[in-house]
Structure formats: C-alpha cells, structure tokens
Structure 1
Amino acid sequence: MITINATIGTGLYWRGGQVLELGGPLAVVLSFLLVGFLSWSVMQCVSEMLCIWPIPGALSAYVSEFVDVELGIATGVAYWFTYSISFSTLIATSAAEFNFWPSIQESTGIHAGILYLLIPVAIVCANSLEIELILIEIKIYGIIEVITGTIKLLLLAVIICVLIAINRGAFKYLKCSAFNIRFKKWVFIVTLQLVLNILLNNRNLDWKSATEFDSDAAGNWFAALLIGMSIATFSFVGIEIVAASALEAKWPRQDHKSKVSSSLDITPRPNDTLIGNQIKFSAIFISVLATVVYVVAAFLVTLDIYRGDCALPRVSWLSEDIKSNCTAPGSKAAFVAIALESGIPHLADLFNVFLIFTCLTCTSTNLYVASRTLFGLTSGLEGGKGQRWYLRILAWFGKTNRHQVPIRAVIFSAVSFSWVPFLQLIGKPDTRSSINEFIEILSQMASIGVLIVWGMNCLAFLRYHKCISVHENQKIFKARGVPQFQRDDYSEYPYRSHGQPLLAYFAFSGCFFLLIVAGGAALWKSWNLLPFLASYLPVLAFFALWVLLKIARRAPWGLVDLSDGHMVATKLQRLHEIRGATQI
C-alpha cells in the first residue's frame, strides 16, 4: 500500500489531460502503455536483487556495489532530491486543486495557514509516530497507508465506472426518474452492460482524429508522442518504492525442523528465500497494476472529452497558454472537466475532493521515501570525533529515535523545499505565471530523477548478472558459504526475472531514450528554456555531483572490479550481513 499510494497519484489525473491535449487519444494511450512496459522491465531488474537484499538505501547500494561507489552515492542523492522536492510540489498541486472552489482561491489565509503549513506538519507527524497497542505492535503510519491506499483504489474503480456511465449517457435517466428505481441494482446492471458493449457501440469516440496534436507544442505527431511519454513518466514515479518500504516488512521466521514442501520442491525453503517471497509480489506486480489502471482510465477519458476542450491544461512552456477559441487557460484535471460537462450536480466537486485526497496521500508517501533514502545514505557513516565536520552532520541524520523512526531525516526532508508552495502567494499576475512555470520545472525534475535511478539500477543488474554468470560455478563461493548466488537453484534463489539480460538492456536503453531523446523532443519545434531545464538540468547536475565526489574522495576513475572471485564473494557476503542486521 505504501507503493500504491505513491504511484497512483496526480500524474494520471493532471498529466493525463496534458498528454491528451498535446497528442490526442492515441498518444495518451500509447504514452501510458509504453512507459508502463518500461517500468515493468525496470522492476524486473530491481526485483531480482531486492528479493535477495532488502536493505536500507537499496537502490543506491546496488549501484555502489556493482557499478561504482561514487555513482551509487550520486544515485542516492538524486533519489532523495526527487522525493523531497516532490513532497513540496505536491503540496503546491493540492493547493491548486483547492482553488477549484472560488471561496478558497480568494483566501490567502487558508493557503498560507492551512494548505502550506498545517497540512505539511500533519504529514510529518504521520510519518514520525509509532505506538505500541495492547499485545500488538502497530505503526500508525502503516495503518494510515493501508486505509488510504484501499480507499484510493476503491474510489478509482468508482471513477472508472462513472466515466463509462457518462460515455453511455446513462445518467440522463437518473435525472428523469429522480431515483425512483433502486439505485444499487441499477448501478450494477448498467455498469455490467456498459463494460460489455463500450467497445462495440461507442457514440463519442472519433478515432479519425486520433493523431491530432497541438501544433504549437510539437512539429508532428511523433514528436508530440515523445513529449507525452516524457510527461507520462511522472505518473509511474513510485513503482520502485517497494525497495524502501521493504524495510518495514515483518520477516517470517521458519524453524529449521519444519518442512515446507510441494510436488516440485521437497526441500525445506530457508528463511532467506521466504524473505524474498514476502516482497516479491509487490515488487513485480505493482508496475503491472499501475499500467493497466492508467491505460484503462486514459482510454475512458478519450471517450468523454475532446482533446481541444478549453478546460484541459496545456504544457506550460508555450508562450501563449490560451488556446484558440478559448477565453482562459485550461486549468482542470480531465476527470473534473468531464464531470463539469456532464451536468451532474456536484459530481465535479466529488471528483476534485478525490483528487485532493489522492494528492495528499501521495505527498505523505513521498516524504516517507525521501526520509528513508536519506537515512539509508547516512546510516553507515561514522560521525565520531576526528571525522570531518560534514561527515558528522550527515551521520546525525542516520540515527533513529527510540521507536526506530528516522525522525531527523523526516524533518530535514520536509523542510528542505518547504518554501516552494509559498511562492504561489506572490500577488502579481505576471509573476505568478512565472512561479507556476518554476514549480512545474521542479515537478518535472522528479520524473527525470527517477529515470536516472531506474537506469543506474538496470546497469547495476547487468553487471550483477554478468558477475554471477561468470563466478557461479566457482568453488570459492561455496567454500565461503555465500548463499543465493545460483540463479538456476529455485529452492534457494527467491526470484529469477524474465528474459535476462536482454530485458535489462532494453530497460537501460529505454531510460536513456526517455532522458535524452524524448526529454528533448519539446525543443525540436523551437528553443525554450523551461523544457530544457526540466529535462537536462537534473542529468547535468547528477554527473557533476558524480565528478565532484570522485575528486573529493580521490577515487579511481573506473568501475568496481568484479573479475576476482574472492572480492565478489566478500561483496556478496557484506550485502547479506547488511540484510541480516536489518532483520534484527
């Protein structure tokens, strides 16, 4: 549920409308489908390593161990920055969604006091508290994530059903009959009928204009598709969070005398394998769930609203934000715009409440990931006397309170960019437009940062896979008691990902393509500073940090040596020791 709360956020509802306006119905469906397949491919690589080593700062540690130490540190910093800045930009986004109601939009006190101050403080408290109830230890944060995640999935299912009903014109019968029929029975029958015949007898969808695009933003439809894929990536930020939330799992304990057997495996499965099985489902299938939900919801949106609708938002870097034949810039999520046009009383208000709920729950999870990432980066540092001052400061964030909560990392991650939402209080209209563009740059940087982390972990898996393939038959591993290194041993190896190493090469290439090619497609028609900064500034900053770390640490310029069997055995044993310490 932690991973689901972070993944199913505002990306679908807000970014989906942007992609639809930009590239039309076909582009929005393909964007979510293609990026979803890429996210599944990435998680195949991450899941195989994660099922063996669910450790603090896993996504950074894998890169450090199998690629380069300094590159791993830079990956961890990029991951922390992504979710720390997302925490603040989502607060700003939720405030923008509150502006749907004019009474709130005109109140500066509500924005400053409640939206920008009290809500973030409440989220920090939810991330920091843990209590012991009678007989059972329960984490308040975990309970909140389970409840809100369940509500989010149920409400999303309701929205999908409502979109189908709107497309079929079913709600007009409600207005005429004024609920003179049994509502529950009516909803069940109508929904079942609509799901069965929507593709056979649709009345709104015009696929003749499926490749229609915004010519002000892109020179052709293919460029619009690439820009749409880059935008849609934001919706999949979070599918890798299982690497951080795995630390919260209650590891199973199996007695050595017990027998866990099946027709295919008569050997008792060790505790190490059971640990991997605890997180395997989430690591593998949440990306599939997100892809299916996004593609279905995006397709339904194309049935109910035209891409040229004035309510849909455009990409912010266009010099003229107001579309032709429109009186004001589009500023509504696609679902809210559909609800308004349906004429159903208060449906748009309900949809907007759901969007705010989704945004705030996603905000809480982003703070969780940022704090755990910072804790993972700093928990292994020595901060005693004799250490350099900056190491002592960083080591201070790697401590937990008596409830095992990294409260210092939580607070620092929350306040680092807490100033971002307050920028929206600047009163001048022309300045406010520039501020909104700046916030969108920061928001887009989040998806770029995650693409960097995805790509680096695909590279780490490729080197891990090659390393295991070369050394798995050597006696040194068995002589030193290194467990879980034979991918063909299904009784011990928790998860063997599909199509490797070809799938890892595809995932790494896909991340590189989205970073360099798709990220720059917005510049093909004309030069603009905003998309350039949003797409390439995080990449340049990442490699600049890597070079700076190399110089500061006086580290050799090269990848870690994986050719020596003894060194590799020591490396794998160290990862297993970290996992064992985490379990304790």
Structure 2
Amino acid sequence: MQLQQESEALKRTMQPRHLIMLSLGGVIGTGLFFNTGYIISTTGAPGTLLAYAIGALVVWLVMQCLAELSVAMPETGAFHVYASRYLGPATGYTVAWLYWLTWTVALGSSFTAAGFCMQYWFPQVPIWIWCLIFCLVIFSLNVVSTRFFAEGEFWFSIIKVITILAFIILGSLAIFGVIPLKDGSPAPGLAHITSAGWLPHGGLPILMTLVAVNFAFSGTELIGIAAGETKEPEKAIPLAIRATIARLIIFFIGTVFVLAALIPMEQAGVEKSPFVLVFEKVGIPYAADIFNFVILTAILSAANSGLFASGRMLWSLSKENTLPSYFSRVNKRGVPLAALSVSMLGGLLALCSSIIAPETVFVALSAISGFAVVAVWLSICASHFMFRRRHLQSGLSADSLIHRAPWYPWVPILGFVLCLIACVGLAFDPSQRIALYCGLPFVALCYGAFYLTKILKQQEPEHVAE
C-alpha cells in the first residue's frame, strides 16, 4: 500500500508557462545549436531550409495528435500508455523504452556538445572532465523538486528565447551590411544561400538529414510527458502546444536562414557551433564569447529537460508493472530518485564519446536519439488514429471530445508517413546509419523482453503452487 501511495505522489504543480518553456527548453538545445552545422554542410543552405520546413510540418502534425490524446488522457509518461491501449501492450512497452533511449542518449550528446563549448575557452582541458562536471550539475537540479525544476527550466528557456531573437536580429543586420563583418569583407547578402547551387548534392541529402532535423525538433512532445503533473490539462495543454509550435517555426526557420546566409557550406560542421562561427565573423566585441556562454546554458537546459523526461518514463513503466516497483518510488518532494539515477547513465556515454572521437560519436549519438524520437512520434500518430477510430465506433461524435485534432484522419496518416520516410533516410547516410544498426535491434529486444517477462509471470503462480 505504501508503495502505491509513493508511486502516485507526483504533484500537479506545472502551469502553461512551465509547459511552454519546458518544451522550448527541450527543443532549443544541441540539435539546433550544433546539428544545424552538420545539416548545412550536407545539404547546402536551400536544402537545410527545406529540411527544416518539412521538420516543422512533421512536428505540427505530431503535436496535433498529441494534443487530442493528452487532453483526453492526461497522464505522466503518456506516450507508452496511449500505445499500450491502442496499439498493444508490447508496443507500449517498446515505445516507453525508445523514449527513454531518446533522452538518455541525448544526455550524452548534450554533455559532449557542452564540452565543445568549454573548449572554446579552455582548449587544453579534456572534454570528458567537463562532461563529468555537467553530469553532476544537471542531476542536482532534477533531484530537488518538480516545482524547482520547472521554475529553473522556465528561466533557462527565457534566456534561450531572448538569445535566439537577438541572433536573428543581429544576424540579419550583418547579412545586409548594417553591422560590419570583422574581417572587413563586404556583407554577403543572400549570396551564400545559393553559392553552392540550390541543391549541390541533389535531393537525397535532404532525406538523409530528416532524422537530424527531427532530432533538433525533439522535445516538443515533453508537453505530453508532463501532462500528469499539470494543473487543468484540458486548458493548459492545447495552449502550450499552440504557443510552442508558433515559436518553434519562427525561431528555427529564422535561425537557419541567418546561419545559411552567413556560413558557407564548406565551413559548417559540428566541432564548433555555427552560432559561434557567425559571431566570430561579426564585428561586435565579445559577441562570440557571449553566445558561446548562452549556447552552453541552452544545451545544459535541454539536458535538464531530457533527464526529467527519461526519469518520468521509467517511473511510468514501473507504475504499469513492467519494471520493479523500486522505480516508481518518489521521495518526500515528489521526485522519482531511483528512476533519475538510472537515466543519468546516458551521461556516461558522453564520457566515452569525448575520449574516443567526439565529432564522430556526437553525430552517431544524435542519430540514435533522433531515430528513437521519430519512432515515438510514429506511435503518437498511430495511437491517435486508433483512439479517434474507436471513439467514433463506440457511437460518440468527434464533437464530444474536449479538444480534437483537425482534418482527421489525414493529420495522423501524413504524420506517420513522413516519420517513416525520415527513418528510411538514415540508411543512405553512412555517418548516421549506426542509428538503424542500434535502433532496430533495440526495438526487437524490447518486444522480446516484454513477451519473455509475460511468459515468466504466467509461469510464476504455477511454480508457487508446486
């Protein structure tokens, strides 16, 4: 009985502003600040803009599905609960572990990216030392309380939003010569966008980088994770989703446009944030240092959101009796300490990657995390399709739903198809193909583990009886 009370002790303390900033905090991080450089170097400027436009469409479709599900069933760790009910228990179990993998691996890539930022100032200090320090900081922020976490993430995210807006404004002024470039060269205007051609390597790189784009957008679905800890979810969730999507489209498309205009394709990459590259070019004193610091806080903020999400997913799995009850225990402040501790193992990946080959492993970690989140988005679209179908088959009308996604069934179908295409694109990129080599066996392992656990549970009473 005590365990049950402890497992239900997560508190509804989040408000719409917390949800919006939690989602933005998860999104505006490693993917935008570092992966964008990789995408520009692979697809060229026009291809990057097109890839991000497709990514924005995918996010809008998935979030419309999630909004309807979350308002109808506001639960912590919601994705796998929906998948269990409408796609089958084994799929729900797999979705939960995939989402845990998304953010646990993302912790590794986030801490590695934070190490890159610190090497801008301290090039002689190994990246793994910074990774270890940041592991301790982020873990400490998460174990105090949910309200403390939410307030901290709210202010972290405000800093990021202000920074993105400042970047778009200052970058635009530099593009057209209002702010001079540091080396005295003329303002590039829009020349860099088409300097290598509209699609220098054809259309295939856009397909190859869709998962990287989706990884950059991952975090929007954190609104669904926090639904069970939100006041008045029927009002807060749709408001938060609308506000988040609008901001993301402005921030991402505007940011990518500025980056594409100021950074030639051949200079982009992941070893240094493209944001820092831009402000090394602009003649504003200490601009690169300031933005490097802000990028560092943004990446750590995204890691903060990621640890929150992965810990809640383990908590939810335990509550569904697919993990030991130990993981659903919370302390007196309502924090699932055991679940957070195990999820923090992803941070250790950063220590390994920073020692082996930071640039190479960073892309691989991002690809694995991107594959996992796109697989979760697939499940959200499929769950919404089945939820609405069963709702209508039961004799109820769509008007009886408190919140409903538009244009059913085309929204979930198109979202599912685009996510599937993104996964297929991984097979064409050697640097990201490892995501399929790791992700597909991981999915098979999850299904196998579910059925094995089910068989063992069925045999357990017979063993006791003997």
- TM class by smaller structure: 0.7 to 0.9
Aligned match of 2:250: 292
Aligned match of 1:76: 96
Shift of residue 353, structure 1, vs aligned partner: 1.2
Contact persistence 1:37–1:291 (CA under 8 A): no
Moved over 6 A (4+): 173-176
Aligned match of 1:372: 312
Shift of residue 142, structure 1, vs aligned partner: 1.7
Contact persistence 1:89–1:421 (CA under 8 A): yes
Aligned match of 2:446: 545
Contact persistence 1:79–1:449 (CA under 8 A): yes
TM-score using structure 1 length: 0.70
- 1:486-544 Cα deviation digits (max 9, x unpaired): 4213xxx321111101111111111111112x12222xxxxx4x432223421332133
Compared with structure 1, are the counterparts of its residues 207 and 531 closer, same or farther at alpha carbon in structure 2 (3 Å cutoff)?
Answer: closer
Contact persistence 1:313–1:332 (CA under 8 A): yes
Compared with structure 1, are the counterparts of its residues 345 and 457 closer, same or farther at alpha carbon in structure 2 (3 Å cutoff)?
Answer: same
SS of the aligned residue for 1:4 comes to helix
- Which amino acid in 2 is paired with 1:398? S
The separation in 2 between residues aligned to 1:246 and 1:445, in whole angstroms, is 26
Aligned match of 1:479: none
Paired residue for 2:120, among 78, 93, 100? 100
1:211 and 2:211 equivalent? no
Contact persistence 1:87–1:363 (CA under 8 A): yes
Shift of residue 404, structure 1, vs aligned partner: 1.3
Contact persistence 2:168–2:258 (CA under 8 A): yes
Paired residue for 2:40, among 20, 31, 35? 20
Within-5 A mapping of 1:256-405: 275-309=233-267, 312-313=268-269, 331-381=271-321, 394-405=324-335
Q: Which runs of 5+ in 2 are unaligned?
A: 1-20, 457-466
SS of the aligned residue for 1:488 comes to helix
Paired residue for 1:496, among 389, 404, 410? 404
Aligned match of 2:347: 418
Structure 1 window deviating more from structure 2 (366-375 vs 89-98): it is 89-98
Aligned match of 2:155: 147
Paired residue for 1:116, among 116, 131, 135? 131
SS of the aligned residue for 1:418 comes to helix
Contact persistence 1:59–1:457 (CA under 8 A): yes
Aligned match of 1:89: 109
Contact persistence 1:379–1:399 (CA under 8 A): no
The separation in 1 between residues aligned to 2:377 and 2:182, in whole angstroms, is 48
The separation in 2 between residues aligned to 1:174 and 1:66, in whole angstroms, is 57
1:226 and 2:155 equivalent? no
Contact persistence 1:126–1:141 (CA under 8 A): yes
Aligned match of 2:375: 452
The separation in 2 between residues aligned to 1:519 and 1:424, in whole angstroms, is 21
Contact persistence 2:182–2:283 (CA under 8 A): no
Aligned match of 2:16: none
The separation in 2 between residues aligned to 1:425 and 1:441, in whole angstroms, is 13
Contact persistence 1:40–1:288 (CA under 8 A): no
Contact persistence 1:42–1:504 (CA under 8 A): yes
Compared with structure 1, are the counterparts of its residues 26 and 549 closer, same or farther at alpha carbon in structure 2 (3 Å cutoff)?
Answer: same
SS of the aligned residue for 2:220 comes to coil
- For this pair of structures, how many residues does the alignment match? 434
Shift of residue 371, structure 1, vs aligned partner: 0.6
The separation in 1 between residues aligned to 2:359 and 2:37, in whole angstroms, is 17
Contact persistence 1:47–1:284 (CA under 8 A): no
Compared with structure 1, are the counterparts of its residues 402 and 488 closer, same or farther at alpha carbon in structure 2 (3 Å cutoff)?
Answer: same
Aligned match of 1:322: none
Contact persistence 2:24–2:244 (CA under 8 A): yes
SS of the aligned residue for 2:99 comes to helix
Contact persistence 2:180–2:282 (CA under 8 A): no
The separation in 2 between residues aligned to 1:401 and 1:447, in whole angstroms, is 32
Aligned match of 1:238: 219
- 1:312-347 Cα deviation digits (max 9, x unpaired): 117xxxxxxxxxxxxxxxx32222112112343322
Paired residue for 1:443, among 366, 383, 388? 366
Structure 1 window deviating more from structure 2 (49-58 vs 540-549): it is 540-549
SS of the aligned residue for 1:139 comes to helix
The separation in 1 between residues aligned to 2:42 and 2:181, in whole angstroms, is 34
Contact persistence 2:363–2:432 (CA under 8 A): no
The separation in 2 between residues aligned to 1:425 and 1:468, in whole angstroms, is 49
The separation in 2 between residues aligned to 1:96 and 1:203, in whole angstroms, is 29
Shift of residue 367, structure 1, vs aligned partner: 0.4
- Which amino acid in 1 is paired with 2:342? F
Compared with structure 1, are the counterparts of its residues 208 and 306 closer, same or farther at alpha carbon in structure 2 (3 Å cutoff)?
Answer: closer
Q: Which protein has the larger Cα radius of gyration, Structure 1 or Structure 2?
A: 1
Paired residue for 1:170, among 161, 178, 181? 178
Shift of residue 378, structure 1, vs aligned partner: 0.6
The separation in 2 between residues aligned to 1:496 and 1:26, in whole angstroms, is 35
Paired residue for 1:531, among 419, 423, 432? 432
Greater helix share, structure number: 2
1:33 and 2:63 equivalent? no
1:466 and 2:367 equivalent? no
Compared with structure 1, are the counterparts of its residues 394 and 472 closer, same or farther at alpha carbon in structure 2 (3 Å cutoff)?
Answer: same
Aligned match of 1:520: 427
- Which amino acid in 1 is paired with 2:269? P
Structure 1 window deviating more from structure 2 (224-233 vs 280-289): it is 280-289
Contact persistence 1:36–1:288 (CA under 8 A): no
Compared with structure 1, are the counterparts of its residues 469 and 502 closer, same or farther at alpha carbon in structure 2 (3 Å cutoff)?
Answer: same
Aligned match of 1:190: none
Shift of residue 248, structure 1, vs aligned partner: 2.6
Shift of residue 211, structure 1, vs aligned partner: 2.1
Compared with structure 1, are the counterparts of its residues 125 and 506 closer, same or farther at alpha carbon in structure 2 (3 Å cutoff)?
Answer: same
Contact persistence 1:205–1:303 (CA under 8 A): yes
Structure 1 window deviating more from structure 2 (226-235 vs 531-540): it is 531-540
Aligned match of 1:194: none
Contact persistence 1:277–1:494 (CA under 8 A): no
- 1:34-83 Cα deviation digits (max 9, x unpaired): 01101110111111010111112210000000110111011101111111
Q: Which runs of 5+ in 1 are unaligned?
A: 131-137, 177-197, 214-219, 252-274, 315-330, 382-390, 427-431, 474-485, 523-527, 556-584
Aligned match of 1:266: none
SS of the aligned residue for 2:102 comes to helix
Contact persistence 2:77–2:226 (CA under 8 A): no
The separation in 2 between residues aligned to 1:210 and 1:140, in whole angstroms, is 49
Compared with structure 1, are the counterparts of its residues 88 and 206 closer, same or farther at alpha carbon in structure 2 (3 Å cutoff)?
Answer: closer
Shift of residue 455, structure 1, vs aligned partner: 0.4
Compared with structure 1, are the counterparts of its residues 172 and 96 closer, same or farther at alpha carbon in structure 2 (3 Å cutoff)?
Answer: closer
The separation in 2 between residues aligned to 1:120 and 1:173, in whole angstroms, is 37
Compared with structure 1, are the counterparts of its residues 345 and 546 closer, same or farther at alpha carbon in structure 2 (3 Å cutoff)?
Answer: same
The separation in 2 between residues aligned to 1:155 and 1:397, in whole angstroms, is 37
Contact persistence 1:23–1:211 (CA under 8 A): no
Identity %: 18
